[in-house]
Amino acid sequence: MSDTVFYAIGGGLILLIVWIVVTWNSFVSARNKVEEAWSGIDVQLKRRHDLVPNLVETVKGYAAHERETLTEVTRARGAAMAASDPADVARTEGALTAALGDVRALAEQYPDLQAAANFRGLQSHLAQLEDEIQASRRIYNSNVQTYNTRVQVFPNVLLAGSSFPARAFFVLDSPAERLVPAVSFA
């Protein structure tokens, strides 16, 4: 075997090793960004979950006979807190969002409740949290898209194998969340 062939094979092996190391490290980096983005969603959802009992207690003071709605909010909060993977979290958070929408609709029936400073403050804080959750969800989904593309393109898919499975997007399951809210100035 001539020296030229030996150097060509050796150079090819070195390039292959460098590609493997660089690609593997890019997978790890992308996976870590996805996990960091998920932790951002998790923090916002925890803040939301912590706010719900205060909202329920405030509404109870004004609308004590509306037990069914308040029980549904509490049940949905419990299910959302127990969810773990993105698909399950998205499903349970959708149910919590719908239940909170029922509380907002309920509040419209009680002018004293709408006028209460505590309720208005909680509603304002909840609206701010919803915006932060949406921003966190966009960041997470962007990182998932980058990660999934990186591990699914050829030839990276050969190296990724089962060590780097595709991640699920955090998507809306509830058709109600996809509707444009009605705006009324009456």
For the stretch 88-124, pLDDT in tens is 898 999 899 999 988 888 888 888 887 788 888 888 8
Alpha-carbon torsion 184, 135, 43, 125, what sign? negative
Structure confidence at residue 114 (pLDDT): 77
CA angle 57, 54, 184 (to 5 degrees): 90
Residue with the larger pLDDT of the pair 85 and 143: 143
DSSP 8-state secondary structure symbol assigned to residue 181:
P
Structure confidence at residue 59 (pLDDT): 85
Residue 185: is its pLDDT beyond 80? no
pLDDT tier at 174, thresholds 50, 70, 90: low
pLDDT tens-digit profile of 118-157? 888 888 899 999 999 999 999 999 999 999 999 999 999 9
Determine phi and psi for 109, rounding to 5 degrees.
-80, -10
d(CA 41, CA 168): 14
Structure confidence at residue 186 (pLDDT): 42
Structure confidence at residue 102 (pLDDT): 87
Residues in the chain: 186
Q: Which residues contact 133 (CB under 8 A, 6 or more apart)?
A: 41, 44, 45, 48
Q: Which residues contact 105 (CB under 8 A, 6 or more apart)?
A: none
Structure confidence at residue 68 (pLDDT): 84
Most distant CA atoms of the chain, gap in Å = 92
Structure confidence at residue 172 (pLDDT): 67
Please state the pTM of the whole predicted model: 0.79
In the predicted model, what is the mean pLDDT of the chain?
A: 87
HEC sequence for 145-180: HHHHHHHHCCCHHHHHCCCCCCCCCCCCCCHHHHCC
Average pLDDT over residues 76-94: 90
73, 99 Cβ separation under 8 angstroms = yes
Structure confidence at residue 45 (pLDDT): 93
Structure confidence at residue 103 (pLDDT): 86
Q: Which residues contact 36 (CB under 8 A, 6 or more apart)?
A: 143
Structure confidence at residue 183 (pLDDT): 41
Residue 82: is its pLDDT beyond 90? yes
